[in-house]
Amino acid sequence: MNVKTHDGSANFVPGTVIDIHHITVAQLAALGMEEIAFVKPVMTENGPAFAIHAADGTPMALASDINLAAAAIIQNDMVPSLVH
């Protein structure tokens, strides 16, 4: 598994066995960063919207409806996940 942080450094090398008992907080936070984005319903000053966040919670975008949010995530080669 090759997981990269925001600065591009690799936390895991392909073929490496990961011992989940010794994973660092930074490595755990970076899991799925390039593959998963989540959608969360939010209230804005313009009314309800859907916030798109990276796997670590970093806000990336707002969409007016859930379908637009999912489409934006898919267009960026990521998998959408809904957070309630």
In the predicted structure, residue 52 carries a pLDDT above the cut 80: yes
The pTM assigned to this predicted structure is 0.61
Q: Which residue has the tokens 């919670």?
A: 57
Predicted pLDDT at 79: 84
DSSP 8-state symbol, 68 = H
pLDDT digits (tens, 9 = 90+) for 29-47: 666 667 788 899 999 999 9
Contacting residues for 17 by C-beta, under 8 A, at least 6 apart: none
Map out the domains of the chain as residue ranges: 1-31, 35-82
Give 4's pLDDT tier (boundaries 50, 70, 90): very low
